[in-house]
A and B are shown apart, each in its own frame.
Chain A
């Protein structure tokens, strides 16, 4: 299962001919810099997500309410996510044709969509509901969240090694 099952080959060819893709192909540093920023964003994203999910699981920061913790972490999470997307898109463009037939890349996208959907729905609801006490919703959504984001990360790593 890969993206080529869902999108035409011409789309991926077009991606690889965009300005940003060509720039990375011609430049010695561009891809390296973009990828490095992608990794820095990954560090921040995983760190804030872990911190929030630890709170939802009741494993840390129990003195502070879920809403308080979320208030501090959310700007960082969203900022980091923005950085990931802003660096991820050029990285995709650069090797679009390769990703079109990559199964790990497809799995990564599935996990990413799941993670983002969960984040803005039941995860958010759990944070609001758990203000006074830990509920099962909080624990379940924290586990699902961690699983999805780690799925994104591991599948992303597998792209380089599995076709």
Chain B
């Protein structure tokens, strides 16, 4: 038992050391203290929200049965998928750069840790959807009221993304 916790704290120590090392690199410092790089990257990160979460939200509303009820669910998903993918790529790239600019601050900020956890859950939500109820989409494509698994996916997705955006904003404050 004691060996396990000792090993655990050793792993944690070395990860923190890695973060510290990352923080001290020339690139990280340049991004952090430069005049324009950080604001520009941050702007892309915030504005790509519309392209990524904004379009996903429309799919969620369809799954929740609140909007686009006469549109085929698979249609909506297929139509917005490329734009959502593009948007999320920008989010990921800009997000990585932002993390790289302030790795120590991000790592030690509770809001950021929660954000990462929620991001993982959001990804899991999508994966489960595609592996499960979406396989049978032909059965419920035209229905205004979709099966409960799809509805749950919609609600979970919306709530998770809400949480992610809130945590993202509050990373600056904690």
Contact = CB atoms under 8 A, between A and B. Distances in A.
Question: Is B one of A's binding partners?
Answer: yes
Interface in A65-87: 68, 72-73, 76
A50 B173 contact: no
B43 A54 contact: no
A60 B81 CA distance: 10
Of the listed residues A45, A51, A154, the one surrounded by the most CB atoms of chain B closer than 10 A to its CB is: A51
A60 B79 contact: yes
A51 B61 CA distance: 13
B47 A46 contact: yes
Contact of A43 (B43, B49, B67, B80): B49
Given A32-B173, A36-B170, A161-B39, A46 B165 contact: no
Mostly helix, strand, loop or mixed at chain A's interface?
A: helix
A42 B67 contact: no
B55 interface: yes
A49 B36 CA distance: 28
Interface string B135-174: 0000000000000000000000000001001100110010
Interface string B29-52: 000000010010011001101110
B68 interface: yes
Interface residues of B, number: 30
A50 B71 contact: no
A157 interface: yes
A143 to B, nearest CB: 16
B83 A54 contact: yes
Contacts of A40: 162, 165-166
A76 B55 CA distance: 12
Interface residues of A, number: 31
Given A60-B79, A61-B75, A64-B71, A157 B47 contact: yes
Contacts of A88: none
Contact of A154 (B43, B61, B67, B162): B43
A32 B169 CA distance: 8
Interface of A: 32, 35-36, 39-40, 42-51, 54, 60-61, 63-64, 68, 72-73, 76, 150, 153-154, 157-158, 160-161
Given A40-B166, A161-B39, 8 more contacts: A32-B169, A46-B51, A50-B51, A50-B83, A51-B58, A60-B79, A61-B75, A64-B71
Interface of B: 36, 39, 42-43, 46-47, 49-51, 53-55, 57-58, 61, 67-68, 70-71, 75-76, 79-80, 83, 162, 165-166, 169-170, 173
The 6 closest A-B pairs by CB, nearest first: A47-B54, A46-B50, A157-B43, A60-B79, A161-B39, A43-B49
10 contacts: A35-B169, A42-B49, A45-B54, A47-B51, A48-B58, A51-B80, A60-B80, A153-B50, A154-B43, A157-B43
